[in-house]
Structure 1
């Protein structure tokens, strides 16, 4: 089972390390972790995409609630939320494949951010399915390197 959690934490050294250690003890696997400042520079939002059985994820959430520096936790999986991820991919390119790659980028609305003699680098933001779709389409051309940001998410609506 996969679940998405959002935590507000004090923006101070050691909080993220304690969080990762607490999850390691629970048996839940962290698939994605993204953290950054909120509208308040003293508070960070940490978004976790977790995998594990309900017992392991519930144990991880309980550990998280008991950590110093954690202000609040929200299990977004039980709510309506919007999520995004950023990916940058460096793809092998030849004169024969350039046109095909550009068509793929256009379909996915990916932006070319760098170009060399033998590679092209693109960026794309979107939900996980869109990111995975682009990766599958360019894989046959040869992915030279790739970096994914991890999921960020917020509840929809006025909450």
Structure 2
């Protein structure tokens, strides 16, 4: 499990504006229609990647300005991502926690687990940085 806490100069509302916009576009594309979308817990859709890899996405919870949680399943891998937001005087704090359900540390030695945790933590940090950059660009549109 990876847990990151970072502060940003945008608000929780702006974070969720971006998430709702992105999810709406993703779901419409996945469903191949332009029907209205309501983002809520229990919504399931399938993304197809550039290499025709399918990823099943399940929205676990969606509480605007508080929590967005989703589970992604693809090629035997299963990952749950939670974004908790809290407004601060200078913007908002995002707590990201991710759990890889398909990785069992008891099946590996300490060194392998350390390396896995290091690489996974680094990857999560990069993704959070990309998300923050995308939100800033979205906010400036």
TM-score by length of 2: 0.31
| Bigger Cα Rg | 1
Return the structure number with greater strand share.
1
Which one has a larger percent helix, Structure 1 or Structure 2? 2
TM-score if structure 1 supplies the norm length?
0.28
